[in-house]
Structure 1
Amino acid sequence: MNTKISASQLFAAITLVPYGSAVLFYINPEAKQDAWLAILIYIIPAVILQLIYTSLWNKYPNDTLVTYMPKIFGKVIGCTLSILYITFFAYEASRVLRDFSELIAISSMQRIRPYITSAALMITIAYALFSGIETLSRIVHICFYLWIFFFAAEWIFLYVTPNELKFYNLKPFLENGLIPIIKNSWKLISFPFGESVLFTMFFPIVKEKAKVRKSAVLAIILEGILLSLNTIMFIAVLGVSFASTSLFPLLQTLRTMHIGTVLDRLDIFIILIMIIVGFIKIGFFTYGAVLGTTQLLKLKDTKYISLIFCIIITITSLLIARNYPQHIYIGQTLTLTYVHLPLTIAIPIITLLTYEIKHFIGSK
């Protein structure tokens, strides 16, 4: 495989791709005003999950998730699991596409049909994928620094906007203790942290092999800190009740910020930046499905397969739910429990244990 990306590009992608859609929502509303603390706590199991992903890759440094599954489980079970992961990547791309097409429709372009917005987004993504993963990796590397600047600007603008940051909304702190928070926040490990299973498809193409594990772990830690600060912002500005019921709490939060009468109604710039981040996430998940398919079918070129997947993902994004509330319900209940949990946590753990048992038996 001649395609190569750098460790810093991998770090930026692991940080920004799962963060790209999670930032839109008030994730983990069950923890109420302690939701930010739950995210920080679940950084620890998320790091352990990265150690599992990188350990599996270390066993087969030239293979992706799709190609080492048949080597561990055998052809029938392994290929079945590989197909499941390819489907998962494509499904996630379609869900994120629906998220951002709805964001555009609700926030600024109410009269435009959703299929037009989705098609326009996927045309640009198809062009990026046709150019190769190196192009997409360079884009995410640049956008990473842009997003950090944007994130700092959010806090500055909200701070100088009178009476916007109401930190008393964060109280009472640990009202029911720590155990209920940990117990009710288990979904965090599957979303957003578990979505980094996608990058097991990209570990083999990183130039600096020795930096893969370090980049993955540090990216997860940074992602958790950013999401925790993002949740604090939602609670401080909107309060727990409004943040929990809002379709797009990030948009609602940032619409409140202004500096005098000069910098007011900045939401159009905010939407533009969020769409860029969404573009990156959809692109990486689509490419994960494309790469897995070409490896499973032993094809050499990903360009034309990527066009086929872009069409499939666009159509799927329109069909997965009748309306946006149903889309959110499916994502937060059915998908997290029956899709994310087994594919991002259970199967990788079982895969590593299976490898170790087979290796132990073989050595004896």
Structure 2
Amino acid sequence: MKTKISVYQMFAAMILHPLGSTILFFLTPEAKQDAWIAMLVYIPAGILLQLIYTTLYYQYPDDTIVTYLPKIFGRFIGYILSIVYITYFAYLAARVLRDFAELSLIAIMPETPLIVASAMFMSAIAYTVFTGLENLARAAQIALPISIFVFITEYALLFVTPGVVKFDNLKPVLENGIIHVIKAGWLLITFPFGETVTFAMIYPSVNEPSKVRKAAFMAIIFEGILLTVNTIIYIASLGINFATTALFPLLETLRLIKVGFIERLDILLVVIMALGGLFKISIFMYASMLGTAQLIKLKDPKYLALPFGIGIIIFSILIAKNYPQHIQLGLEWTPVYIHIPIQIIIPVSALIVHFIKKWISLSK
């Protein structure tokens, strides 16, 4: 029986997926105190990407990006591109696994070897992916309202902690003009918004195809607003200098909470964020496994969970010598040389080639 998930489950998964790691970092530090404006400015770009991805989906409603690329570009080029996407999803899974393994070492288990922390995360991820997309989607459906409630509670406690939230830190607004903000924030197109190309592997599993585009647009808007609020909180609480230099500004922000006997809630949030990270890695890993299964004609991708899990653990450790190098690669090198071709150039080219071939076919 074909895997099916609801539109709301897809919507919840699309919100939780980027939040799983994006919320840990201060994005667009070059925009300084106007970083929250950059986030709002690039929400339409995220919607435009979804327009491209969903247009391709509606042209090939029974195919994932791995199976429709050979139909568009021909078997030779198409299969090479399909392998590129499979590798890309596995690479992103390894990156996020490294993020959360390092976070757990810094916040909870400083004496634990990196490989042990990674293996602990991956054991849960591999089991989750083995159970299938439907269980993953149901988990997203439950986790979204819980996650929102937790963040609202944490930030409310920040506001009632005396002297923590200082909105004067957001000034001056647009000191260098809106053009500077646009230039400083252009990588937001790729991270976080462009990572939703992963859902080109999941759209065919939604039980109401006609609502996929609307749900995708709403998810991007909701995500953009959440990240905007999060960025404002970072700047107002930490100040722009500390917010842009801290390894995990979210962790540093929540360490400021002191309301009566309530303090050190950062540990609780690390656990919540770890669950979000597990979800994000699971989506990337599932997409890579599903693409591989489709390429080699394997009936059920779940049997790939163990080898993919081991491979992603190894890759996550080899990906960088240390965590600062990992962050530098992820925020400077990866967006330009990996994200842009895979998230933008290939899908746009696929859409153009498809419509050219369709036009030629109709003209004949």
Q: How does 1:200-211 map to 2 (within 5 A)?
A: 200-211=200-211
Measure the CA separation in 1 of the matches of 2:70 and 2:47: 26
1:33 maps onto 2:24 in alignment? no
Quote the offset at 1:258 in angstroms.
2.1
Quote the offset at 1:154 in angstroms.
2.0
SS of 2:24's partner is coil
Deviation sequence 1:75-102 (CA, Å, 0-9, x none): 0110111100000000000000000000
Please report the TM-score for the alignment, with normalisation by the length of structure 2.
0.99
Quote the offset at 1:362 in angstroms.
1.2
Could you tell me which residue of structure 1 aligns to residue 314 of structure 2? 315
Quote the offset at 1:265 in angstroms.
1.1
Please report the TM-score for the alignment, with normalisation by the length of structure 1.
0.99
Could you tell me which residue of structure 2 aligns to residue 286 of structure 1? 285
Measure the CA separation in 1 of the matches of 2:327 and 2:248: 11
1:352 maps onto 2:351 in alignment? yes
Could you tell me which residue of structure 2 aligns to residue 163 of structure 1? 163
1:240 maps onto 2:247 in alignment? no
Matching residue's letter, 2:285:
T
Measure the CA separation in 2 of the matches of 1:182 and 1:361: 38
Measure the CA separation in 1 of the matches of 2:306 and 2:216: 29
Matching residue's letter, 1:286:
M
Measure the CA separation in 2 of the matches of 1:104 and 1:273: 12
Could you tell me which residue of structure 2 aligns to residue 180 of structure 1? 180
Matching residue's letter, 2:319:
I
Deviation sequence 1:222-264 (CA, Å, 0-9, x none): 000000000000000001110111000000001111211x111
1:212 maps onto 2:212 in alignment? yes
SS of 2:258's partner is coil
Quote the offset at 1:204 in angstroms.
0.3
Could you tell me which residue of structure 2 aligns to residue 57 of structure 1? 57
Could you tell me which residue of structure 1 aligns to residue 69 of structure 2? 69
1:225 maps onto 2:233 in alignment? no
Could you tell me which residue of structure 1 aligns to residue 258 of structure 2? 258
User: Structure 2 stretches of 5 or more lacking a match?
Assistant: none
Could you tell me which residue of structure 2 aligns to residue 6 of structure 1? 6
Matching residue's letter, 1:20:
G
SS of 1:25's partner is coil
Matching residue's letter, 2:354:
Y
Measure the CA separation in 2 of the matches of 1:344 and 1:181: 22
Quote the offset at 1:357 in angstroms.
0.9
Could you tell me which residue of structure 2 aligns to residue 150 of structure 1? 150
Could you tell me which residue of structure 2 aligns to residue 268 of structure 1? 267
Measure the CA separation in 2 of the matches of 1:361 and 1:176: 49
Measure the CA separation in 2 of the matches of 1:46 and 1:72: 24
Quote the offset at 1:183 in angstroms.
1.4
Could you tell me which residue of structure 2 aligns to residue 338 of structure 1? 337
Measure the CA separation in 1 of the matches of 2:258 and 2:344: 42
Percent of residue pairs bearing the same amino acid type: 54
Matching residue's letter, 1:182:
I
Deviation sequence 1:297-327 (CA, Å, 0-9, x none): 1110212212111110011001100100000
Deviation sequence 1:64-123 (CA, Å, 0-9, x none): 000000000000110111100000000000000000000000112100011101001101
Could you tell me which residue of structure 1 aligns to residue 124 of structure 2? 124
Measure the CA separation in 2 of the matches of 1:294 and 1:213: 26
SS of 1:26's partner is coil
Matching residue's letter, 1:78:
G
Measure the CA separation in 1 of the matches of 2:262 and 2:276: 23
Quote the offset at 1:361 in angstroms.
1.2
SS of 1:207's partner is coil
Could you tell me which residue of structure 2 aligns to residue 295 of structure 1? 294
Matching residue's letter, 2:29:
P
SS of 1:82's partner is helix
Matching residue's letter, 2:316:
S
Q: How does 1:73-92 map to 2 (within 5 A)?
A: 73-92=73-92
Could you tell me which residue of structure 2 aligns to residue 114 of structure 1? 114
Please identify runs of 4+ aligned residues in structure 1 that moved more than 2 A: none
Q: Which stretch of the first structure deviates more once superposed, 148-157 or 85-94?
A: 148-157
User: Structure 1 stretches of 5 or more lacking a match?
Assistant: none
Measure the CA separation in 1 of the matches of 2:190 and 2:24: 17
Measure the CA separation in 1 of the matches of 2:350 and 2:19: 26
Once superposed, what is the RMSD of the aligned Cα atoms? 0.8
Measure the CA separation in 1 of the matches of 2:138 and 2:49: 26
Matching residue's letter, 1:215:
A
Deviation sequence 1:107-163 (CA, Å, 0-9, x none): 121000111010011011111111111111111111111111012112210111001
Matching residue's letter, 2:126:
A
Measure the CA separation in 2 of the matches of 1:146 and 1:279: 15
Matching residue's letter, 2:273:
M
